[in-house]
Amino acid sequence: MVSLNSLTLLWPSLLWVFAALPALMGVYVWRGRAQKWSHHGVALLMLCGLSLVIFSLARPRAVLLLPGRLDTVMLAIDTSGSMKASDVKPSRIEAAQAAVRTFIAEQPSQVKVGIVTVASTAAVAQAPTVSRDELYQAIENLPLQTGSALGSGILIALAQLLPGSGIEVEKLLTEADRPPPKDTGKPLGAEAKGSNQVKLEPGSNKALAIVLISDGQSNMGPDVLKMAQLAADHGVRVYTVGVGTPEGVVLKAQGVSMRVKLDESALKKIADMTLADYYRATNASDLKKVYAALATTIRLEKHQSTEVTALFLAAGALLILLASFLSLRRDARIL
Protein backbone atom coordinates (compact mmCIF):
# COMPACT_ATOMS: atom_id res chain seq x y z
CA MET A 1 0.00 0.00 0.00
CA VAL A 2 1.36 3.42 -0.97
CA SER A 3 1.05 6.28 1.52
CA LEU A 4 -0.09 9.02 -0.88
CA ASN A 5 0.49 11.81 1.65
CA SER A 6 4.20 10.92 1.57
CA LEU A 7 4.44 11.27 -2.23
CA THR A 8 7.43 13.26 -3.52
CA LEU A 9 8.95 13.73 -6.97
CA LEU A 10 12.60 13.27 -7.97
CA TRP A 11 12.21 15.12 -11.29
CA PRO A 12 9.29 17.54 -10.76
CA SER A 13 10.47 19.73 -13.67
CA LEU A 14 9.21 17.07 -16.11
CA LEU A 15 5.63 17.80 -15.14
CA TRP A 16 5.70 20.44 -17.87
CA VAL A 17 4.85 17.60 -20.28
CA PHE A 18 1.29 17.83 -18.91
CA ALA A 19 1.01 20.99 -21.05
CA ALA A 20 0.60 18.72 -24.06
CA LEU A 21 -2.66 17.26 -22.75
CA PRO A 22 -4.87 20.31 -23.41
CA ALA A 23 -3.66 20.32 -27.02
CA LEU A 24 -4.49 16.62 -27.42
CA MET A 25 -7.91 17.21 -25.86
CA GLY A 26 -8.52 20.08 -28.27
CA VAL A 27 -7.70 17.90 -31.28
CA TYR A 28 -10.01 15.16 -29.99
CA VAL A 29 -12.89 17.57 -29.38
CA TRP A 30 -12.48 19.05 -32.88
CA ARG A 31 -12.46 15.59 -34.52
CA GLY A 32 -15.10 13.94 -32.33
CA ARG A 33 -17.82 16.52 -31.98
CA ALA A 34 -20.40 14.33 -33.71
CA GLN A 35 -19.52 11.12 -31.89
CA LYS A 36 -21.77 9.43 -29.37
CA TRP A 37 -21.21 9.79 -25.66
CA SER A 38 -20.03 6.16 -25.48
CA HIS A 39 -17.01 7.12 -27.58
CA HIS A 40 -15.99 9.75 -25.04
CA GLY A 41 -15.63 7.13 -22.29
CA VAL A 42 -12.84 5.43 -24.26
CA ALA A 43 -11.18 8.81 -24.76
CA LEU A 44 -11.39 9.50 -21.04
CA LEU A 45 -9.67 6.17 -20.30
CA MET A 46 -6.93 7.09 -22.75
CA LEU A 47 -6.55 10.53 -21.15
CA CYS A 48 -6.22 9.03 -17.65
CA GLY A 49 -3.65 6.56 -18.92
CA LEU A 50 -1.59 9.27 -20.58
CA SER A 51 -1.76 11.38 -17.42
CA LEU A 52 -0.36 8.53 -15.31
CA VAL A 53 2.43 7.85 -17.82
CA ILE A 54 3.38 11.54 -17.87
CA PHE A 55 3.30 11.68 -14.07
CA SER A 56 5.64 8.68 -13.92
CA LEU A 57 8.24 10.69 -15.86
CA ALA A 58 8.69 12.84 -12.73
CA ARG A 59 9.84 9.69 -10.85
CA PRO A 60 7.48 9.69 -7.85
CA ARG A 61 8.62 8.33 -4.49
CA ALA A 62 6.43 7.32 -1.53
CA VAL A 63 6.57 5.52 1.79
CA LEU A 64 5.24 2.00 1.40
CA LEU A 65 2.83 0.72 4.05
CA LEU A 66 2.94 -3.06 4.25
CA PRO A 67 1.20 -5.47 6.63
CA GLY A 68 3.29 -5.70 9.79
CA ARG A 69 3.92 -8.69 12.02
CA LEU A 70 1.75 -7.40 14.86
CA ASP A 71 1.34 -10.00 17.59
CA THR A 72 -0.03 -8.29 20.71
CA VAL A 73 -1.73 -4.98 21.60
CA MET A 74 -2.31 -3.77 25.15
CA LEU A 75 -5.15 -1.30 25.70
CA ALA A 76 -4.52 0.96 28.71
CA ILE A 77 -7.87 2.56 29.56
CA ASP A 78 -8.13 5.56 31.90
CA THR A 79 -10.74 4.73 34.56
CA SER A 80 -10.22 7.81 36.72
CA GLY A 81 -13.20 9.82 37.96
CA SER A 82 -12.78 12.46 35.25
CA MET A 83 -13.74 9.87 32.64
CA LYS A 84 -17.38 10.10 33.73
CA ALA A 85 -17.52 13.62 32.27
CA SER A 86 -20.27 14.02 29.69
CA ASP A 87 -18.57 16.32 27.17
CA VAL A 88 -18.31 13.14 25.06
CA LYS A 89 -21.77 11.59 25.02
CA PRO A 90 -23.06 9.68 26.87
CA SER A 91 -19.82 9.93 28.89
CA ARG A 92 -16.12 9.70 28.17
CA ILE A 93 -15.83 6.19 29.59
CA GLU A 94 -18.95 4.84 27.86
CA ALA A 95 -17.88 6.28 24.53
CA ALA A 96 -14.40 4.80 25.05
CA GLN A 97 -15.88 1.39 25.83
CA ALA A 98 -17.94 1.42 22.63
CA ALA A 99 -14.95 2.50 20.55
CA VAL A 100 -12.70 -0.14 22.11
CA ARG A 101 -15.18 -2.81 21.02
CA THR A 102 -14.84 -1.48 17.48
CA PHE A 103 -11.05 -1.61 17.75
CA ILE A 104 -11.05 -5.19 19.03
CA ALA A 105 -13.44 -6.32 16.30
CA GLU A 106 -11.17 -4.80 13.62
CA GLN A 107 -8.09 -6.74 14.74
CA PRO A 108 -7.16 -9.95 12.89
CA SER A 109 -8.20 -13.08 14.78
CA GLN A 110 -4.60 -14.10 15.50
CA VAL A 111 -3.68 -10.78 17.18
CA LYS A 112 -3.77 -10.99 20.98
CA VAL A 113 -5.29 -8.05 22.85
CA GLY A 114 -4.99 -7.27 26.57
CA ILE A 115 -6.59 -4.63 28.80
CA VAL A 116 -5.13 -2.56 31.65
CA THR A 117 -7.26 -0.21 33.75
CA VAL A 118 -5.65 3.01 34.97
CA ALA A 119 -6.80 5.01 38.00
CA SER A 120 -4.79 5.67 41.19
CA THR A 121 -3.06 2.40 40.32
CA ALA A 122 -2.97 0.26 37.20
CA ALA A 123 -4.20 -3.32 37.02
CA VAL A 124 -4.53 -6.01 34.39
CA ALA A 125 -8.24 -6.44 33.61
CA GLN A 126 -7.52 -9.02 30.92
CA ALA A 127 -4.22 -10.66 30.02
CA PRO A 128 -3.44 -10.78 26.29
CA THR A 129 -5.81 -13.20 24.58
CA VAL A 130 -7.34 -13.97 21.19
CA SER A 131 -10.75 -14.56 22.79
CA ARG A 132 -12.90 -11.62 21.76
CA ASP A 133 -15.67 -12.67 24.15
CA GLU A 134 -13.32 -12.43 27.15
CA LEU A 135 -12.20 -8.99 26.01
CA TYR A 136 -15.74 -7.72 25.54
CA GLN A 137 -16.62 -8.99 29.00
CA ALA A 138 -13.59 -7.29 30.53
CA ILE A 139 -14.56 -3.86 29.16
CA GLU A 140 -18.25 -4.24 30.01
CA ASN A 141 -17.87 -3.03 33.60
CA LEU A 142 -14.89 -0.75 34.19
CA PRO A 143 -15.18 0.74 37.70
CA LEU A 144 -14.21 4.41 37.97
CA GLN A 145 -11.87 5.34 40.82
CA THR A 146 -10.08 8.42 42.08
CA GLY A 147 -6.63 9.37 40.87
CA SER A 148 -4.90 8.94 37.54
CA ALA A 149 -1.56 7.14 37.17
CA LEU A 150 -0.94 7.04 33.42
CA GLY A 151 2.72 6.18 33.97
CA SER A 152 1.67 3.08 35.90
CA GLY A 153 -0.65 2.15 33.05
CA ILE A 154 2.17 2.26 30.49
CA LEU A 155 4.47 0.35 32.85
CA ILE A 156 2.00 -2.48 33.56
CA ALA A 157 1.07 -2.76 29.87
CA LEU A 158 4.75 -2.87 28.90
CA ALA A 159 5.44 -5.61 31.46
CA GLN A 160 2.59 -7.66 30.01
CA LEU A 161 4.02 -7.31 26.51
CA LEU A 162 7.60 -8.12 27.59
CA PRO A 163 7.39 -10.62 30.45
CA GLY A 164 10.99 -11.76 30.01
CA SER A 165 12.63 -8.35 29.64
CA GLY A 166 13.50 -7.89 33.31
CA ILE A 167 11.38 -4.77 33.75
CA GLU A 168 11.37 -4.13 37.51
CA VAL A 169 7.74 -3.15 37.95
CA GLU A 170 7.66 -3.13 41.76
CA LYS A 171 10.89 -1.15 41.99
CA LEU A 172 9.63 1.52 39.61
CA LEU A 173 6.28 1.76 41.39
CA THR A 174 7.97 2.00 44.78
CA GLU A 175 10.39 4.67 43.61
CA ALA A 176 7.45 6.72 42.37
CA ASP A 177 6.14 6.97 45.96
CA ARG A 178 9.44 8.33 47.28
CA PRO A 179 10.38 12.04 47.35
CA PRO A 180 11.82 13.13 43.98
CA PRO A 181 15.63 12.84 43.79
CA LYS A 182 17.87 15.83 43.26
CA ASP A 183 18.63 16.82 39.70
CA THR A 184 21.52 14.63 38.56
CA GLY A 185 21.79 16.05 35.09
CA LYS A 186 20.90 12.68 33.56
CA PRO A 187 18.62 12.56 30.52
CA LEU A 188 14.92 11.87 30.91
CA GLY A 189 14.29 8.27 31.92
CA ALA A 190 17.90 7.49 32.92
CA GLU A 191 17.04 6.99 36.60
CA ALA A 192 13.95 4.96 35.71
CA LYS A 193 15.55 2.42 33.42
CA GLY A 194 14.15 -0.47 35.47
CA SER A 195 15.28 -3.06 32.91
CA ASN A 196 18.42 -4.95 31.96
CA GLN A 197 17.59 -4.95 28.24
CA VAL A 198 19.81 -3.18 25.74
CA LYS A 199 18.13 -0.07 24.34
CA LEU A 200 16.36 -0.49 21.02
CA GLU A 201 15.48 2.11 18.43
CA PRO A 202 12.11 3.73 19.27
CA GLY A 203 9.29 2.06 17.35
CA SER A 204 11.48 -0.82 16.15
CA ASN A 205 9.42 -3.57 17.81
CA LYS A 206 6.68 -3.99 15.21
CA ALA A 207 5.14 -7.03 16.92
CA LEU A 208 3.94 -5.16 20.01
CA ALA A 209 2.02 -1.95 20.69
CA ILE A 210 0.24 -0.08 23.48
CA VAL A 211 -2.85 2.07 23.03
CA LEU A 212 -3.43 4.55 25.86
CA ILE A 213 -6.96 5.96 26.10
CA SER A 214 -7.24 8.94 28.45
CA ASP A 215 -8.23 12.56 28.96
CA GLY A 216 -4.53 13.17 29.57
CA GLN A 217 -4.56 14.10 33.25
CA SER A 218 -2.04 12.19 35.37
CA ASN A 219 -1.40 12.99 39.03
CA MET A 220 -0.11 9.77 40.60
CA GLY A 221 2.42 6.99 40.07
CA PRO A 222 5.63 7.04 38.03
CA ASP A 223 6.30 9.99 35.76
CA VAL A 224 4.36 9.28 32.58
CA LEU A 225 7.08 10.60 30.26
CA LYS A 226 9.73 8.47 31.95
CA MET A 227 7.55 5.42 31.42
CA ALA A 228 7.06 6.46 27.79
CA GLN A 229 10.85 6.63 27.49
CA LEU A 230 11.06 3.13 28.97
CA ALA A 231 8.66 1.91 26.29
CA ALA A 232 10.69 3.72 23.61
CA ASP A 233 13.89 2.06 24.89
CA HIS A 234 12.21 -1.31 24.33
CA GLY A 235 11.10 -0.32 20.83
CA VAL A 236 7.39 -0.41 21.77
CA ARG A 237 5.07 2.19 20.26
CA VAL A 238 2.51 3.87 22.54
CA TYR A 239 -0.43 5.21 20.52
CA THR A 240 -2.46 7.75 22.49
CA VAL A 241 -6.14 8.70 22.18
CA GLY A 242 -7.34 11.88 23.85
CA VAL A 243 -10.96 11.65 24.98
CA GLY A 244 -12.78 14.87 25.87
CA THR A 245 -12.93 18.51 24.89
CA PRO A 246 -10.42 21.30 25.61
CA GLU A 247 -13.07 23.36 27.43
CA GLY A 248 -14.18 20.33 29.47
CA VAL A 249 -17.11 20.22 31.89
CA VAL A 250 -17.65 20.79 35.61
CA LEU A 251 -17.88 17.63 37.70
CA LYS A 252 -19.29 17.55 41.22
CA ALA A 253 -18.23 14.92 43.74
CA GLN A 254 -18.58 14.90 47.53
CA GLY A 255 -19.55 18.56 47.57
CA VAL A 256 -16.55 19.64 45.50
CA SER A 257 -16.81 21.04 41.97
CA MET A 258 -13.96 21.04 39.46
CA ARG A 259 -13.58 21.48 35.73
CA VAL A 260 -12.03 18.52 33.92
CA LYS A 261 -10.49 19.26 30.53
CA LEU A 262 -8.72 17.26 27.86
CA ASP A 263 -4.99 17.69 28.43
CA GLU A 264 -3.29 16.82 25.14
CA SER A 265 0.29 17.88 25.85
CA ALA A 266 1.45 14.71 27.63
CA LEU A 267 -0.43 12.42 25.25
CA LYS A 268 1.24 14.03 22.23
CA LYS A 269 4.69 13.75 23.84
CA ILE A 270 4.14 10.06 24.65
CA ALA A 271 3.25 9.30 21.04
CA ASP A 272 6.17 11.36 19.70
CA MET A 273 8.71 9.73 22.03
CA THR A 274 7.69 6.24 20.96
CA LEU A 275 7.26 7.04 17.24
CA ALA A 276 3.52 6.39 17.37
CA ASP A 277 0.52 8.65 16.66
CA TYR A 278 -1.79 10.79 18.76
CA TYR A 279 -5.53 10.88 18.03
CA ARG A 280 -8.06 13.35 19.39
CA ALA A 281 -11.75 12.50 19.80
CA THR A 282 -14.17 15.14 21.04
CA ASN A 283 -17.35 13.15 20.43
CA ALA A 284 -18.49 9.54 20.28
CA SER A 285 -18.65 9.48 16.49
CA ASP A 286 -15.07 10.76 16.19
CA LEU A 287 -13.93 8.21 18.74
CA LYS A 288 -15.32 5.28 16.74
CA LYS A 289 -13.70 6.61 13.56
CA VAL A 290 -10.40 7.01 15.41
CA TYR A 291 -10.41 3.41 16.56
CA ALA A 292 -11.41 2.10 13.16
CA ALA A 293 -8.49 4.02 11.62
CA LEU A 294 -6.14 3.05 14.44
CA ALA A 295 -7.02 -0.63 14.01
CA THR A 296 -5.67 -0.38 10.46
CA THR A 297 -2.72 1.91 11.16
CA ILE A 298 -1.38 -0.19 13.99
CA ARG A 299 -1.19 -3.25 11.71
CA LEU A 300 0.76 -1.48 8.97
CA GLU A 301 4.51 -1.18 8.94
CA LYS A 302 6.07 1.89 7.39
CA HIS A 303 9.00 1.25 5.08
CA GLN A 304 11.51 3.73 3.79
CA SER A 305 10.70 6.05 0.93
CA THR A 306 10.80 4.04 -2.29
CA GLU A 307 10.54 5.03 -5.93
CA VAL A 308 7.12 4.00 -7.25
CA THR A 309 7.56 5.09 -10.87
CA ALA A 310 6.85 1.57 -12.10
CA LEU A 311 3.45 1.51 -10.38
CA PHE A 312 2.23 4.68 -12.09
CA LEU A 313 3.76 3.66 -15.42
CA ALA A 314 2.13 0.22 -15.29
CA ALA A 315 -1.26 1.68 -14.33
CA GLY A 316 -1.05 4.23 -17.15
CA ALA A 317 -0.02 1.63 -19.72
CA LEU A 318 -2.85 -0.65 -18.63
CA LEU A 319 -5.44 2.09 -19.13
CA ILE A 320 -4.01 3.00 -22.54
CA LEU A 321 -4.08 -0.65 -23.66
CA LEU A 322 -7.64 -1.03 -22.39
CA ALA A 323 -8.78 2.11 -24.22
CA SER A 324 -7.00 0.96 -27.41
CA PHE A 325 -8.60 -2.50 -27.21
CA LEU A 326 -12.09 -1.06 -26.75
CA SER A 327 -11.59 1.39 -29.61
CA LEU A 328 -10.25 -1.29 -31.99
CA ARG A 329 -13.07 -3.66 -31.11
CA ARG A 330 -15.73 -1.02 -31.75
CA ASP A 331 -14.35 1.02 -34.63
CA ALA A 332 -11.40 -1.06 -35.97
CA ARG A 333 -9.18 1.91 -35.15
CA ILE A 334 -7.70 3.65 -32.12
CA LEU A 335 -9.94 6.62 -31.31
Candidates 163, 166, 170; CA nearest to 221 is 170
Rounded CA gap, 92 and 78, in Å?
A: 10
DSSP conformation class of 274: T
What DSSP assignment string belongs to 142-207? ---BS---HHHHHHHHHHHH-TTS---HHHHHHHHTSPPPPP--PPTTGGG----SPP--TT--TT
Q: Which residues 6+ apart lie within 8 Å of 170 measured at CB?
A: none
Residue 284 three-state SS? helix
What is the rounded distance in angstroms from the CA atom of residue 287 to the CA atom of residue 289? 5
Architecture of domain 69-177+190-298 in this structure = 3-Layer(aba) Sandwich (3.40)
**pLDDT value at position 186?**
52
For residue 213, the model assigns a pLDDT of 94
pLDDT at residue 197 is higher than 80:
no
Confidence band for 290, pLDDT divided at 50, 70 and 90: confident
Pairing of strands 122-129, 208-214: unpaired
pLDDT digits (tens, 9 = 90+) for 18-60: 888 888 777 777 766 555 655 677 888 888 988 999 899 899 8
- Report the pLDDT averaged over residues 304-330: 84
| Helix locations, 249-308, DSSP H | 264-273, 284-297
Alpha-carbon distance of 169 to 149, in angstroms, equals 14
Instruction: Summarize pLDDT for 250-285 with one digit per residue, the tens.
Output: 888 767 788 888 989 999 999 999 999 999 888 778
105-110 long-range Cβ contacts below 8 angstroms, 24+ apart: 105/132, 106/291, 106/292, 106/295, 106/296, 107/73, 107/295, 107/299, 108/70, 108/299
* Mean pLDDT across 310-325: 89
Q: Are 274 and 236 in contact (CB under 8 A)?
A: yes
- Cα–Cα distance between 132 and 109 in angstroms, integer? 9
pLDDT, position 204: 86
pLDDT in tens, 161-183: 998 888 999 999 988 766 655 55
Q: Are 43 and 178 in contact (CB under 8 A)?
A: no
pLDDT above 80 (res 195): no
Q: Sort strands 300-307 and 60-67 into parallel, antiparallel or unpaired.
A: antiparallel
Mean local confidence (pLDDT), 2-18: 80
DSSP 32: -
For 76-85, what is the mean pLDDT? 93
Ordered by start, the domain boundaries in the chain are: 2-65+304-331, 69-177+190-298
Q: What is the CA radius of gyration of the chain?
A: 27
Where are the extended beta strands (E) located within the chain?
2-9, 60-67, 72-78, 112-118, 122-129, 208-214, 237-243, 249-253, 256-260, 278-281, 300-307
Say if strands 112-118 and 249-253 run parallel, antiparallel, or are unpaired.
unpaired
Q: Which residues contact 278 (CB under 8 A, 6 or more apart)?
A: 239, 240, 241, 242, 264, 267, 268, 270, 271, 272
